[in-house]
Amino acid sequence: MVFVQRKQMESSSTQAPARRLYRILVRDLVLKCSIGIHAHELLAPQRVRINVDMAVLEQAGPLCDDIANVVSYEDVIDGIKALLAEGHINLVETLAEKIAELCLDDERVETTRIKVEKLDVYAEAASVGIEIERGRG
């Protein structure tokens, strides 16, 4: 009996440490975007609201108060702005997928949830849009 208990304690102490995640959030980023399938949507950009939630694998070593040791929300926002500057996008679904790919380009990002909403489509609705979740593999 003592042998079995000792083996259990040894095996639990030799297990790999638990993976620790933290979240990076970008909330209610409102930008102008050339988006939509209708003729009037090709004439002028419209406001979109973008929300990003990333589950990020925490690094094994100390952070050392160094931006290089974390995923930067500034890089994510700059990347989104660059995507929008590339030109017209037909579907909010396409924009959401491109943003998810941008986030997952950083190998530390395990999963990402992206919400893209058009803000000025219907007077009766605050917004219309899509939310997706993507991960590795």
Average pLDDT over residues 13-19: 67
CATH architecture of 17-135: 2-Layer Sandwich (3.30)
Q: Tell me: pLDDT of 11 over 90.
A: no
What 3-state class would DSSP assign to 93? Answer: helix
C-alpha distances out from residue 37 to 24, 42, 83, 96, 114, Å: 31, 8, 18, 16, 21
Cα-Cα-Cα-Cα dihedral sign, residues 76, 79, 85, 87: negative
- Amino acid 101: pLDDT: 98
Average pLDDT over residues 74-86: 98
Q: What pLDDT, in 10s, does the model give residues 54-73?
A: 999 988 777 778 888 889 99
Cβ distance 81 to 31 under 8 Å? yes
- Amino acid 65: pLDDT: 82
Average pLDDT over residues 108-115: 97
- Amino acid 95: pLDDT: 98
- Amino acid 24: pLDDT: 96
Average pLDDT over residues 106-121: 97
How much is the pTM?
0.84
Q: Tell me: pLDDT of 4 over 90.
A: no
Q: Looking at 34-106, which runs of residues are DSSP E strands?
A: 46-57
Average pLDDT over residues 104-124: 97
